[in-house]
Amino acid sequence: MVEGAEQVRTEGTPQGGPLSPLLSNILLDDLGKELESRRHRFCRYADDCNIYVRSEAAGQRVKRSITRFLITRLCLTANEEKSAVDRPWNRTFLTSHREPTLKVSPKAVERAKRRVREIMRKGRGRKLADVIRELTLLLRGWVNYFRLSQVKAAFEELDKWIRRKLRCVLWVQWKRPKTGAEKLMRRGIEKARALTSAYHGRGSWWNAGASPMNAAITANWLSRQGLMSLIAEHRRLGRPI
């Protein structure tokens, strides 16, 4: 979707689909064999890889040689902006370092939020079910990628934040205070409370987090519209948190 209009995809693979990790493993299997033949210690997850050496000089040398291997042997390019020679605890590799348990890094949460915002911006004139359907593709891929996480905080944070964003979309779609008050009353909010919430003049984001909107548009209601719970999906994948 570009500015609300569908366009044919010309490159890349769909978010959440099985093709991306499959292609990564096919293409980068030779990289793993090359690192093993050099007796390097390394850890790779999809297209992200850390190689561990004893000194900065060795790191610079290995970085140059592996970049050359990727270009000449595999016809790939390394992301120079994300590649670096550094101590492991100064880098983020799926999770934060020096933690007793695996967890999603804050940067990964922010990247997910950026993607959700892009979908939400396109959702202002669309049915909520259509927005949720597009969100599901993103969220299913995201939780699959971080299914090894043992800490629930990131999943809880995103679940709560996404529900508020969807309430915000609804509030914007209701447009006029009168419509907002009527919608709240239809969902069981008493008249005085609905009118106060609709006419106090605060913005849509504030209203999306206020108690009347939370009571009217509950997590269960959003779930019935098709919204996937990240925590529930994480448990389904076999990693209880």
Secondary structure class of 2 (helix, strand, coil):
strand
Tokens at residue 35, please?
A: 């690192």
pLDDT tens per residue, the chain (241 residues)? 666 677 777 777 766 667 878 888 888 999 999 999 999 999 888 778 889 998 999 999 999 999 999 999 999 888 888 888 988 777 777 655 455 567 888 888 999 999 999 888 875 678 888 999 999 989 998 998 888 888 888 999 999 999 999 999 999 888 898 999 999 999 999 999 999 988 988 888 998 999 999 999 999 999 999 999 999 998 888 755 5
Burial class, 11, CB count within 10 angstroms (exposed 0-12 / middle 13-18 / buried 19+): exposed
For 218-237, the pLDDT digits (tens) are 999 999 999 999 999 988 88
Do 159 and 143 contact (CB within 8 A), yes or no?
A: no
- Global confidence as pTM: 0.60
Q: How far apart are the first and last CA of the chain?
A: 35
Residue 1 pLDDT: 63
Interacting residues of 211 by C-beta distance below 8 A, sequence separation 6+: none
For 213-222, the pLDDT digits (tens) are 999 999 999 9
As a whole number of angstroms, the distance between CA 203 and CA 171 comes to: 9
As a whole number of angstroms, the distance between CA 131 and CA 166 comes to: 9
For 76-115, the pLDDT digits (tens) are 888 888 888 988 777 777 655 455 567 888 888 999 999 9
Closest CA to 197 of 179, 222, 219, 223: 179
